[in-house]
Amino acid sequence: MSLGLAIVGCGKMGRLVAELAREYGFDVRAKFTRENNLRDGAIVPEFLRGIDAAVEFTTPEAAPDNLRRLAALGINTVCGTTGWYEHLPAIHESVAAARTGLVYSPNFSVGVNVFIQAVAHAACFLAKYPEYEAWGWEIHHSAKKDAPSGTLKKLAQEIRASGYNRTLTLTANRAGAHPGTHEIGFDSAADTITLRHTARSREGFARGALRSARWLAGKQGVFEFREILGELN
Ligand SMILES: NC(=O)c1ccc[n+]([C@@H]2O[C@H](COP(=O)([O-])OP(=O)(O)OC[C@H]3O[C@@H](n4cnc5c(N)ncnc54)[C@H](OP(=O)(O)O)[C@@H]3O)[C@@H](O)[C@H]2O)c1
């Protein structure tokens, strides 16, 4: 029997998740847009009947409130929205109090998560070679609101956590319809190492979010996508 799915945010990502949901055993039974959600307070019990999970792709301003409301109503949620992580400790509390589940990630692509691990590995080696200086760069479509992207910030955070403490400059471009490229480089007088991930479409993100929603069924707690990668199917 299929599981009931709510789509919160019906933009580019929300629409793609809805399109692919059946392949992952979900039946889309509710859709929340900015209009119906804000005007009518749509994340309320009467609109969540038969819903087992929600996938949230909205905006940094809207996500924390949506996540709190979904947790309070007992709905396990996957959140792909970026740029709201300063609210993460409060969201942890809401999810724990409600005994629900949340998977979040600035990037639900399996490839990007492997890329992050490769970057961390390189940074760990190069931390002890002062002749190597580092940079981070990304490009996304011009409608993307946060810059630098959540993924570039995450890469920088992983580089630091790997012991690389020298200057790391981050730059972001916004143009056209680009689904997202992230690049980390290490440069010395002798050579350059460039590690780059290029997304060809948004499909990888949508599939990662749906796999996470299926994995989250019946679970409690807050998880980052990369922690559960090995358990997904
Ligand atoms: N984690 C990942 O793998 C991943 C991948 C791609 C994108 N993202 C992130 O996901 C988010 C959405 O991306 P997108 O490309 O889908 O953006 P988008 O096309 O702009 O869609 C966002 C949608 O959220 C709606 N919205 C705004 N406030 C809302 C509310 N309170 N309740 C319900 N819906 C609301 C917007 O409605 P209006 O159009 O009416 O304003 C819009 O349709 C961004 O933060 C982006 O950075 C993450």
- The number of residues making up the chain comes to 233
**Between 232 and 184, the higher pLDDT residue:** 184
Whether residue 173 has pLDDT greater than 90: yes
Ligand 1 atom closest to 83 (CA)? 45
Domain identity same for 135 and 181? yes
Active site residue 12: no
Tell me how far apart the alpha carbons of residues 148 and 27 are, in angstroms, rounded to a whole number. 34
Nearest CA to ligand 1 atom 29: 34
- Which residue range is the domain that position 141 belongs to? 110-198
Kindly indicate the confidence band of residue 109, based on its pLDDT and cuts at 50, 70 and 90.
Answer: very high
Gap from CA of 59 to ligand 1 centroid (Å): 5
Gap from CA of 17 to ligand 1 centroid (Å): 12
Active site residue 154: no
Kindly indicate the confidence band of residue 42, based on its pLDDT and cuts at 50, 70 and 90.
Answer: confident
DSSP-assigned letter for residue 2: P
Domain identity same for 104 and 210? yes
β-bridge partners, 197: 182
Domain identity same for 133 and 67? no
Tell me how far apart the alpha carbons of residues 37 and 202 are, in angstroms, rounded to a whole number. 24
Domain identity same for 123 and 210? no
pTM: 0.87
Domain identity same for 129 and 178? yes
Q: Is the CB of 204 under 6 A from ligand 1?
A: no
Kindly indicate the confidence band of residue 1, based on its pLDDT and cuts at 50, 70 and 90.
Answer: confident
Gap from CA of 133 to ligand 1 centroid (Å): 35
Ligand 1 atom closest to 14 (CA)? 16
